[in-house]
Amino acid sequence: GNSVTQMEGPVTLSEEAFLTINCTYTATGYPSLFWYVQYPGEGLQLLLKATKADDKGSNKGFEATYRKETTSFHLEKGSVQVSDSAVYFCALSGKGGTASKLTFGTGTRLQVTL
């Protein structure tokens, strides 16, 4: 079945540092890939997505590229802010009948300090 593996947290960075959160996946066919973010006490918000190989999703300074050859979708940001502190989830969805089901990784907590 489908699965997502992402790096363990917490990740602690100083403001303006470079961020990478690793995500790899296992899936049949060509899934769509997503990054969601969860702030304390809130639900999940879609951060970015990519639907086919070599697509780059981007939003709010965050980027991730769909790498089929390495089955990866690593999240990056050039300069993090304190307000980026949250839990980040990598997720995938299949095509066709499974398109409505999201399979999530375990989440990576990011803590950004001044």
Partner 1 sequence: KAGVTQTPRYLIKTRGQQVTLSCSPISGHRSVSWYQQTPGQGLQFLFEYFSETQRNKGNFPGRFSGRQFSNSRSEMNVSTLELGDSALYLCASSSAGGALFGYTFGSGTRLTVV
The nearer residue to partner 1, 46 or 79, going by C-beta atoms, is 46
Minimum distance from residue 42 beta carbon to partner 1 (Å): 6
**Residue 63: how many CB atoms within 10 A of its CB?**
16
The nearer residue to partner 1, 55 or 76, going by C-beta atoms, is 55
Binds partner 1 by CB under 8 A, chosen from 69, 70, 100, 114: 100
The nearer residue to partner 1, 25 or 105, going by C-beta atoms, is 105
| 29 burial via Cβ count (<10 Å: 0-12, 13-18, 19+) | exposed
Q: Does residue number 93 form part of the binding site for partner 1 (CB under 8 A)?
A: yes
| 76 burial via Cβ count (<10 Å: 0-12, 13-18, 19+) | middle
